[in-house]
Structures are given as structure tokens and as C-alpha cells.
Amino acid sequence: MIQLEGTVDRITFYNEDNFYTVAKLKLQNNRTVTVIGNLPPLYIGEELEVRGGWVQHKEYGEQFQVEEWESKVPQTLIGIERFLGSGLLKGVGPATAQKIVRYFGLESLDIIRNSPEQMLKIPGFSMVKADRIAESLREQGEIQRIMVFLQGVGVSPGYALKIYRTYKNEAVKVVTENPYRLADDVFGIGFKIADQIAKKMGVSNDSPYRIQAGIRFWLNGNSSEGHIYALEDEFLAKASKELEVNELQLAAAVEELLLKKEIFREDGPDSQRLIYLAPFYYSEIGVVAKINSLLQAEPQSISIEPAKFLEKYAAENQITLADKQQEAVLKSLQHNLLVITGGPGTGKTTIVKAILSLFKTARCRVMMAAPTGRAAKRLAETTQEDAKTIHRLLGYGSEEFNGSRFQFNEDEPLATDVLIIDEFSMVDLILFYNLLKAITPGTRLIIVGDVDQLPSVGPGSVLRDLIHSARIPTIRLNVIFRQAQKSLIIANAHRINQGEFPLLSKSGDFFFIEEAAPEQIVKTIPELVKTRIPKFLGCDPVEDIQVLTPMRRTITGVENLNLCLQEALNPPASGKSEVKTGMTTFRLGDKVMQLKNDYQKSVFNGDIGRIKAIDPEERRMEVVFPEVDGEHKVVYDSEELDQLVLAYVISVHKSQGNEYPVVVMPVTTQHFLMLQRNLLYTAVTRAKKMAVLIGTKKAVAIAVKNNKIDERNSLLKDRLLSVADSY
């Protein structure tokens, strides 16, 4: 292996996603060479030792391919200043670096590391700032040490940083003892990357650690597609191929995981054996038991005459309740568990308000919740009563209570007589189980949602299974009210749901723009969002307009359209701070979405907010998320920025449970794999004031005709039926 030493003279290209770098390295003999490879964040003037070999690029000529690297501690004043001001240390920018070096000279790094209190001699420095800089320098040194070790086992610098953030000084020990822990513990590192690391370290293909981690990984992948369980024979065949081990070895690993209760096996239909990850098994069994308890419990007696209440309520609110709506009010009194479903314009909100009024009149304690912040806020606004997200209702993130993330559970139930959950179609199995654990038998649970929308992003088809089990009293609202009939959004939503082609017009609240060329669609959407729709409606292009699309990739997908809309709605400007992570540049004012549940920050997958502050020196951002009771401010450090993505455009799945004044959606044959009736129906029903489709009639027709519902592996319906048959 050839070794070179020199100073970084220029960084030609740098990809923060995979840390691929093209840089100019000035050697000790003043010769400048091009070095390429996966390197940590470099800075101009950095002294670097690289090992590797020469390669010939057909266009760029001779380049040095780096296999291993080591950063040298800077020894000169200019080297120290460049290092301190490079952005690697939190709280130090070029101006601060210059002050430190001017004051302490060549001793700057030693003083920061060993005597940070001396920095108080510099005007404007506090002990808090000095300690932060010292901690950042020590951390950078530890990261470098760990990176040197990890690069030897094939870990890229980006993943090395994530590993360090997770395990700190234990990183080397964890990776050495069981690299497959990374797949479970480190966000962004899955089994395949952990497997590559393990192979570099000499872990054999048939290692029990490896096989068990692989089983957990592919079962998790199965649940990410919405499934609760996997068919064991199919699963073992797939896992055997992926892991390159025989099925006997896999079967032995399955038995070990069964003994450890990390997975469970069940006999399914047609004599098939099913395997579950433990959380999904406990949740499915638990939901059935909890529902059974609710159904068997005697409803609390309420001294109110329903007929008189309905008559009085209709008169006071000057409305006429349809037969199904009146039936829903009556059944909410008669049963502990009730499902109310129906499409847009069928009066779900009206019936929620009526039921709420009924129980308030009867002096019952009532709580209301919805899956997302937007849905909870809308519920609160329409009912003029308090509403929360389900997570907040359950006290998600409260670790001090019984070691659980949920404050409210079987030991600490919700203090309510009636619980109303809106937008229930997006509630997955595990969240539903945790909700049921916080409800005591005798409490009335009223579930409201549109069963014809897409199923939840998380695993299971809970609303559909509850209704199809026929065990849960269910009211399907089927009358479209006169006022709603005037809306083409509502009319077309019902036409789509019934398999009929929507009425395409250029007026009213539903618009269709014929455009076959994807490139032209990409040009038109920013124009619509930035200028045409705001001018027509007098609305805010960022807050009031949401672009939805069926797919992430393709030219009309989430990723590309987000870049186009960011450039149109929030372009770079002098004085507008920004920070780059991976291939994404976040800018002050950007609309962003959270990608994972973060219990400590109390922000959850799918939450959308706005960037309100960026500290470029600290690489820290403050994002404000709307809540029912005001704004929820969340601070993200540099290593947490990968939890966010731009949200000018989101997928239709991510839009569930939310309403937007305006929805714009490309519908093209590029999205052929995702063009389904319930997807188009869900997208259209997200719009409140205006829906705009842009694409081809052929693509719309494909979606309307395709009524195939992706079946999800779940035994919830069967278990509910089985319990019913046992009585």
C-alpha cells in the first residue's frame, strides 16, 4: 500500500451521504495530487496521511484511491486556526478561531483541551462556551480514534459518527463483540451494513449472532410492508437465500429466538405456520383481549332520554340529523365500543359534535384524540373542545412511570368515561394496543374514521379488521349532505371510491390539468404553488398548499419535487442561514417533516413543522411544530438532522389523517405501480378548499379501475371472530 502525506489544498467534491470525497492534496515536495475515496469531513489546510493506490480515470487522469487515512494534529498557527474554524467543533467559527489563536498561539489546542478556563481571558467568552468548545475538541479526538478503528473494518466515516453518537467510548467494544447490535441500535444502519462490518471482522456466515439478527431484520422488513406476521415456510426460504445459509441452520436459530421469546409461532389458516416478532404478537393478542373486556362490560348507566336530547340538539343547532346519524347517537349510549365510518361530506364531524354534546349534557368526562397534531387541532377547532394527539394523550415519552414510555397504561388508566378517537384509519396495531391498555372496562370508546382510505403507515389494517369482524357495533354514514354535494372534491371522492371516473373541470374546487410530459409537470407544479393558486385563493403557498405524490423517486416523486419547490418558495438569500446534511440543504423557513418517533423530544414520524432558527456554527436547528395548544419547539443537533426531510412535497401515505386547504398531485403513468383507487381517494379527500390533479386521464383511469387492496398479514379479524364463537 502506498503512503502519501500532505496538506488539503482544495475540496473539489464532497457527498455527505456517503462521504465520497474528491480533494487536492499538496505533498511535502509541493506536488499536488487528486485523492478520492470515502473520507471524513475535511478542511482546507488539514494535514493528512493517506494510504492506498493509484488509479487511472478515463476523463480526469491519474488519481490516488484512498483506502486508509489519518489526520495529523496541526502544528502551525495557520493550521490550528483552520482546524478550529473548520466547522468540526461546535461553537467555533472562523472569527472565534482567529481570536483563540491570536491569544494563545501554538498552545491553543492544549489550552482548550486541558485548561479551558483560560479562555475566559478572551473578551466575550463565558465558561459555558469554553466548556462546550473543550468538550467538542475532546469528542472530535475520540471520534477520530474510533474512525481509525472502524475504517479498518469497512465502516464509512458517516456511519462511524453515528456509531460513536450511540455508544460513545463503548463503540469499539460493541462493534468488536457483536457488530449486529448496530442494526438494532443505530438509526440508519440496517442488517446489511452491520453484516458487511461483521464479515470484515471475520464473523462467519453461520454465526448464531448473524442468523438471529438476519431473522429479526427480515421480520421487521415484513412489518414495514404492513404485515403483522410472516408465513414461516416462505420466510425461511427467503431468509435462507438472503443469508446464504441452509434452512436447517435457520430453523435452529428460530427455535432459539422462540425460547428467548423474541419471536412467536402460531398455527394459521390452511395449516400454515406463522411467525411474529414479539411486539406484534403481544399487540394482536392483547387487542383482542382488551376489546373483549370492553364488549363484555356493562355500559355505565346514563340518565338521559336520547329522543328528547336529539330533538333539542337538532333545534338548537338548526340541523336535521340523518337516520344513520341518529342511530350512531343511540348506539353510543348502548355500547362500550362503537365504530363510525363514512366518506367526506357524510357528517362524521357533525355526529362527533352531537355525541360530544350528549355526554357533556349527561355530565360525563370526555376525552378526544387523533393520530396527528394537525388532525387533533382540527378536531379541537370543530368541536371547540380540548383534543390531543394519541401519543400526548397517553403521555408518550414519560419514562419515569413503571419503566414505560407511556404514562397511561393498565396501572395508570385514563380518567375518562368516554374516549373519542378521530381519523382512526391511520392507527396501527401497536398504537391501538397501547391505547386500549389505558382504557378501563366500562369506558366508552368511540372510533371515527374512513375505512376506504389507505391503511395505516404502521403495520396492520386495524379499522378494516374491526369492521369486517362484525363483532364491533358499526355505523356506516352513507348520506352526502346538501351543502357537501356542491363540492366537486366530495363528489369526485365518492365517484372515485365507487369506481367511477371523476368529473374533470376547470372551475369550482376540483381542477384537472392535462399534461403528459413529466418534465413539464415538474415545471408547472412550482408555478401553481408559488403564484397561480395563491393569487386565485389568496392563500399562503407554504402553509396552505400541500403537494402529494404517490412515489418517492422518479422525476415527479417526493425527492425531486421537494428540491424544485424549495428553490421556488425558499431560495438561498444573503443573510438567510442554512445547514447541509447529506444531499439536503436545510434553510431558514423551510417546511420539514420528522421521519422517526423521538420520545425525548416528543415529536413523531410524519409531524410537519417549519425551521425557525439555524446556528451554522453549532450546526443546530430549531423547528416549530403546530400543536393544539400552540407551537412545540424542537432543537436538532447536527447528528440528528437526518431525522428530518423537506416537506413541501410528501407521499400520499404520509398525508393520512391530515387535511390541507389545497392539495396538488401529479398523476402520471410513471407512478403505475402505486396507482390504486384508495390512494387517489385518500389524496383527494385531504383537500378542503381545492384539489388540483396534473397529469393524464389515462393515469387517473388506471387508479380508479385498480381496486386491488394490498392484503396485510393479520389475524386480528379471525381472532375476534374466534373469541365470539367461543361464547
Q: Enter the C-alpha cell of residue 633.
A: 419547539
Judging by DSSP bridges, how do beta strands 32-38 and 61-71 pair with one another?
parallel
State how far the alpha carbon of 589 is from the alpha carbons of 207, 472, 525, 592, 612, in Å. Answer: 49, 46, 20, 9, 6
What DSSP state is assigned to residue 530? I
- Among positive and negative, which fits the CA dihedral 182, 186, 192, 194? negative
Q: Residues 459, 463, 465, CA angle at the centre, nearest 5°?
A: 80
Q: Strand order in 687-695's β-sheet? A: 506-507, 510-514, 687-695, 660-667, 545-549, 649-651
According to DSSP, the residues that pair with 277 across neighbouring strands are 263
According to DSSP, the residues that pair with 46 across neighbouring strands are none
Is residue 296 a contact partner of residue 337, using CB atoms and an 8 Å limit? no
Segments in the chain below pLDDT 50: 398-404, 727
Query: What is the Cα–Cα distance from 252 to 207, expressed in whole angstroms?
Result: 12
According to DSSP, the residues that pair with 251 across neighbouring strands are none
State how far the alpha carbon of 704 is from the alpha carbons of 421, 484, 499, 557, 701, in Å. Answer: 29, 22, 5, 20, 5
pLDDT of residue 556: 92
Q: What is the pLDDT of residues 395-443, one digit of tens each?
A: 875 444 444 468 899 999 999 999 999 999 989 999 999 999 999 998 9
pLDDT of residue 169: 76
Is residue 100 a contact partner of residue 72, using CB atoms and an 8 Å limit? no
pLDDT of residue 484: 64
pLDDT of residue 404: 45
Judging by DSSP bridges, how do beta strands 337-342 and 474-477 pair with one another?
parallel
The single residue listed with the C-alpha cell 398525508 is 655
Ranges assigned E (strand) in 427-562:
444-449, 474-477, 506-507, 510-514, 545-549
pLDDT of residue 727: 45
Query: What is the Cα–Cα distance from 267 to 542, expressed in whole angstroms?
Result: 51
Please state the pTM of the whole predicted model.
0.79
- Among positive and negative, which fits the CA dihedral 97, 101, 106, 110? negative
Residues 6+ apart with CB under 8 A from 630: none
Query: What is the Cα–Cα distance from 618 to 3, expressed in whole angstroms?
Result: 34
pLDDT of residue 156: 65
Q: Enter the C-alpha cell of residue 595.
A: 421521519
pLDDT of residue 151: 66
With 0-12 / 13-18 / 19 or more C-beta atoms within 10 angstroms meaning exposed / middle / buried, residue 630 is exposed
The single residue listed with the C-alpha cell 436538532 is 636
Question: DSSP characters for 415-438?
Answer: --SEEEE-SGGG--HHHHHHHHHT
